[in-house]
């Protein structure tokens, strides 16, 4: 398995001032920040990022929500990064997220769930390259 994953702090969490607290939890869990920025997605670009969900009933709302405020995309490095990071953030639905996970602490709903984590090494690479040039990935 690759040792990198991709994440972004979502608009609900940046708006509520949780960016620093979330980054602190990520570093304390042993992840090294390879790339990081604060940026805004247009609805169109959110649609491209979530293209795999295009047929889902929640797609349109998701694209509107993901472009409603700034996000903080990051590339992270750690042994077993994809799986370990998904453990750290917890279940998509915060009602099912384990105690101590980032979503348990900060997510508001299934949609406004504070943070994204790639679900495979392949998607981690695709999502990283969506936001960061190769020369930004150190
Ligand atoms: P994420 O891990 O970024 O991947 C897709 C996102 O779609 C997910 O987090 C949620 O923000 C959103 N999502 C997934 N399932 C649902 C759902 N059933 N209803 C609304 N939003 C959802």
53 noted as active-site residue: no
* Protein residues whose CB sits closer than 6 Å to any atom of ligand 1: 53, 58, 62, 92, 110-111, 113, 116
Catalytic residue among 18, 44, 53, 116: 116
User: Does the pLDDT of residue 34 top 90, yes or no?
Assistant: yes
Q: What phi and psi values does residue 18 have, to the nearest 5 degrees?
A: -100, 5
Helices (H) and strands (E) in the chain, counts: 7, 4
56, 60, 62, best to mutate for ligand 1 pocket (most atoms within 8 Å of CB): 62
C-beta separation of 49 from 130 below 8 A: yes
Residue 20 CA neighbour count, 13 Å, CB half:
1
Query: At how many degrees (to 10) do helices 81-89 and 121-131 cross?
Result: 80
CA distance 75 to 33: 6
Confidence of residue 1 (pLDDT cuts 50, 70, 90): low
Contacts of 35 (CB under 8 A, 6+ apart): 73, 74, 75, 128, 131, 132, 136, 137, 138
ipTM of the complex: 0.93
pLDDT in tens, 56-71: 999 999 999 999 999 9
Percent of residues, the chain, with pLDDT higher than 70: 99
Structure confidence at residue 2 (pLDDT): 83
| Euclidean distance between the first and the last CA atom of the chain, given in angstroms as a whole number | 19
Structure tokens at 27: 């570093």
> What confidence score (pLDDT) does residue 114 get?
98
Q: Considering only CA atoms, which residue is closest to atom 3 of ligand 1? A: 116
Domains located in the chain, CATH noted: 4-133 (3.30.70.141)
**d(CA 135, ligand 1 centre) in Å:** 30
């Amino acid at each position: 398995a690759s040792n990198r994953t991709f994440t972004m702090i979502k608009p609900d969490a940046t708006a509520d001032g949780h960016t620093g607290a979330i980054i602190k939890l990520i570093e304390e869990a042993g992840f090294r920040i390879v790339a990081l920025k604060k940026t805004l997605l247009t609805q169109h670009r959110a649609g491209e990022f979530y293209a795999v969900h295009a047929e889902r009933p929640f797609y349109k709302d998701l694209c509107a929500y993901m472009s409603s405020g700034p996000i903080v995309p990051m590339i992270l490095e750690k042994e077993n990064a994809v799986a370990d990071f998904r453990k750290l953030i917890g279940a998509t639905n915060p009602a099912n997220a384990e105690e101590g996970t980032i979503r348990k602490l900060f997510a508001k709903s299934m949609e406004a769930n504070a943070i994204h984590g790639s679900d495979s090494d392949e998607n981690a690479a695709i999502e990283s390259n969506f936001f960061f040039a190769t020369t930004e990935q150190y």
